[in-house]
Amino acid sequence: MPALACCVDAAAVAPPGYAAFIAGDSSLPSAVPFSASTADAADSNSTHWSPAHSSALYRIDGWGAPYFSVNNAGNITVRPYGTDTLAHQEIDLLKIVKKVSDPKSVGGLGLQLPLIVRVPDVLKNRLESLQSAFESAIQAQGYESHYQGVYPVKCNQDRFVVQDIVKFGAPFRFGLEAGSKPELLLAMSCLCKGNPEALLVCNGFKDAEYIFLALLARKLALNTVIVLEEEEEVDLVIEISKKLSVRPVIGVRAKLRTKHSGHFGSTSGEKGKFGLTTIQILRVVKKLQDSGLLDCLQLLHFHIGSQIPSTALLQAGVVEAAQIYSELARLGADMKVIDIGGGLGIDYDGSKSGNSDLSVSYGLQEYASAVVNAVRFVCDRKSIKHPIICSESGRAIVSHHSILIFEAMSATAPTTPAMNQVDLPFILEGLSEDARVDCWNLSQAAMRHETETCFVYADQLKQRCVEQFKEGTLGIEQLAAVDGLCDLVSKVVDASEPARTYHVNLSIFTSIPDFWSIGQIFPIVPIHRLDERPEVRGILSDLTCDSDGKIDKFIGGETSLPLHGLEGNGGGSSGGANGRYYLGMFLGGAYQESLGGVHNLFGGPSVVSVSQSDGPYSFAVTRAAPGPSCGDVLRVMQHEPELMFETLKHRAEEFCGQDHGNEGTHAALVSTIARSFHNMPYLVVASPCSLTAMNNNGFYYCNEEDYNAAVGSGASEDEQWSYCYA
């Protein structure tokens, strides 16, 4: 030990290998920049980066086809009609962002990001594609009935989404499914303008009021089916239908034995949350028979889980359900519809894999063919009339039509020092003997490229130094130097560039809640600069004051995302976006809006609907709505913004209104408070600073227009508050 201590204590006589390590010997491997690995991923022989390379790197053709692609300018485009989209009909997402976010004074809409872009043309194409797939399978297999789908509104209850689905689905009797009383009310209202044959499927747990509303819907000539989720519900249906003199149409949800593994299959199978067992189904049949309502039992419903991974599993479930359907027909029920529930999956990562919650191994046509074949096989064998096939495909209908766009505001680069910056004598000064030994062992393991050993000694060294720091025997400068040494060794041994943290103007809890809650991964891609080689890898950190507010898992099993440098932070061209860097999250049209919360009181994004147009920009904004204001989200939590404003206004008068020579300043301050209630909670991102300072005694405004409105309008306080909530 004395010899080792001598070596460690005397930097001048450090062993040759150790000295080389301190000096930065060129024989040591340097960190491999990210650009080399990305080039290998797309084209190892290419020195010129193209949009095709980015498309391959981000798997856009895998998860995005046929609705998303990259154009020659390096921007992501939407192909609103899928495979039928012509080149001039593609919609450039960057142009949408520019139109939406530019000030009104230059022809923009003046909306703030984050932004949801809806493309109803994609929604229409998804409905038509699903319908076409079933019609093709029915015709090919000689099936003697038809397909008639419903959209489960729980996937996205937005008014315009549901109304568009009813409108687009009217030619082929597409209906709606509700799972609660408010969903039933919105479905009833929307279907008043739909096809009269469209089904209104009433799922979910029910009380007397729910069943009353469903029977009322039937009285209003809506094609309503009450699906029994619990055995006791049949008693309410029998009782209330007699009081209303309405003959109900009833379905039962069967609890199948067939289930699939993974998160999305957890509610299926014999121990699933929903549905009736065979014993309960037989008791329901007996009660209906005794009440003279057995002919009202016309639908069988089942659901084996969302994101069904393969057609083999799908067919197993459909065959089991078709057997139950046939038995109900044999028992005297007037069976007409088999509702296969949801489960039609989408490929989130482009892998076409049947072994993952993120992907499926089939397309629309394979799905439809498997369903039709399974139902036909059982019914033909039992000599049962072919039923109407209904599905509740929500995720597959709405996921593609919605894109979440948000901005990266800044990036935190790794702070690993260069080799020649390591001051080993300074590091060793003040270390305990055990820590010095760890330092020596760490350096030797690094010279031998023993990765695991390096990590062990680095952890030991850090732990010992932290203990010394807590005891007060080690200064913060030395602790930081030890951290730098450990990071440097890790970088040298690992030979990879550490991921940067990109700070994004977004709340993950509000806009991507499934990532936080169940680990659902969505494709996230820069929507521009895809003609440039990404220089770094990064993770995304949101605005919330929560350590879970980050995205560090991406498609393909990656723990970081290929990204471009920001202006002033690694650079690269701005891609026509005025130096800003925009990212898009795709395939998030289902569930994310309905599940999003208000963590840190961040509300939802701004929303625009965009339709394909033959004008110069290939699109027209048909609807636009700013995101909820600070006042709006405060109201959600039972606060009263008007009273809050009055309190702050009086406080301003008390403490800031005493300078009678500066009445304008006081008025501007009150107006600014009012505007803060009106503005969105998200950051206003401007360059070079997020706020532009106006010369008004130190007060700050978002821009010159806000400043002029605040100090030059001469509006009364009531008018200022009216502006706040106009």
pLDDT 10s digits, 62-107: 999 999 999 999 999 999 999 999 999 999 999 999 999 999 999 9
- pLDDT of 439 reads 83
Read off the pLDDT band of 26 (50, 70, 90): very low
The answer to whether residue 118 scores a pLDDT higher than 80 is yes
Read off the pLDDT band of 108 (50, 70, 90): very high
Structural domain includes residue 652? yes
Amino acid 29 reads: P
Structural domain includes residue 564? yes
The answer to whether residue 668 scores a pLDDT higher than 60 is yes
Q: What percent of the chain stands above pLDDT 70? A: 81
The answer to whether residue 643 scores a pLDDT higher than 60 is yes
Task: Give how far the C-alpha of residue 710 lies from the chain's centroid of Cα atoms, to the nearest Å.
Answer: 37
Read off the pLDDT band of 12 (50, 70, 90): very low
Three-state DSSP class for 91? Answer: strand
Structural domain includes residue 481? yes
Structural domain includes residue 687? no
Residues 383 and 446 in one domain: no
Residues 260 and 319 in one domain: yes
Residues 302 and 154 in one domain: yes
Residues 310 and 218 in one domain: yes
More confident site: 462 or 288: 288
* Integer Cα distance of 351 and 289 in angstroms: 50
Q: What are φ and ψ of residue 145, in 5° steps?
A: -145, -160
Q: Is the dihedral of CA 183, 185, 186, 192 positive or negative?
A: positive
Q: Report DSSP letters for 253-305, one per residue.
A: EB--S----SGGGTT-STT-SS-B-HHHHHHHHHHHHHTT-GGGEEEEE----
The answer to whether residue 399 scores a pLDDT higher than 90 is yes
The answer to whether residue 173 scores a pLDDT higher than 90 is yes
- pLDDT of 391 reads 97
**Boundary (domain end) residue, out of 474, 493, 512:** 493
More confident site: 477 or 718: 477
The answer to whether residue 656 scores a pLDDT higher than 90 is no
Active site residues: 545
C-beta of residue 28 within 8 angstroms of C-beta of residue 492: yes
Residues 127 and 162 in one domain: yes
Three-state DSSP class for 611? Answer: strand
The token pair at 62 is 């895998």
Containing domain of residue 658, as a range?
632-678
| Cis peptide preceding 66, ω within 30 of 0 | yes
Q: Is the dihedral of CA 567, 571, 574, 577 positive or negative?
A: negative
Residues 467 and 553 in one domain: no
Structural domain includes residue 694? no
Please give the model's pTM, rounded to 2 decimal places.
0.83
**Boundary (domain end) residue, out of 611, 627, 643:** 627
- pLDDT of 414 reads 66
CATH value at residue 81: 2.40.37.10
Mean pLDDT of the 17-24 span = 36
CATH value at residue 328: 3.20.20.10
Residues 98 and 174 in one domain: no
Residues 594 and 557 in one domain: yes
Residues 573 and 636 in one domain: no
31-40, 130-139, 585-594, 696-705 — which is least confidently predicted? Answer: 31-40
Count CB neighbours of 3 within 10 A: 7
Mean pLDDT of the 472-500 span = 80
**Boundary (domain end) residue, out of 461, 493, 525:** 493
Structural domain includes residue 347? yes
* Integer Cα distance of 112 and 709 in angstroms: 18
- pLDDT of 8 reads 32
Residues 235 and 337 in one domain: yes
Read off the pLDDT band of 660 (50, 70, 90): low
Question: What are the tens digits of pLDDT across the range 492-533?
Answer: 776 567 789 999 999 999 999 999 988 899 999 999 999 999
Residues 124 and 105 in one domain: no
C-beta of residue 300 within 8 angstroms of C-beta of residue 338: yes
- The number of distinct structural domains making up the chain is 4
Residues 135 and 178 in one domain: yes
Q: Which helix H or strand E contains 458, and what residues bound it?
A: helix 451-471
- pLDDT of 710 reads 44
Read off the pLDDT band of 418 (50, 70, 90): low
Structural domain includes residue 337? yes
C-beta of residue 478 within 8 angstroms of C-beta of residue 423: no
Structural domain includes residue 35? no
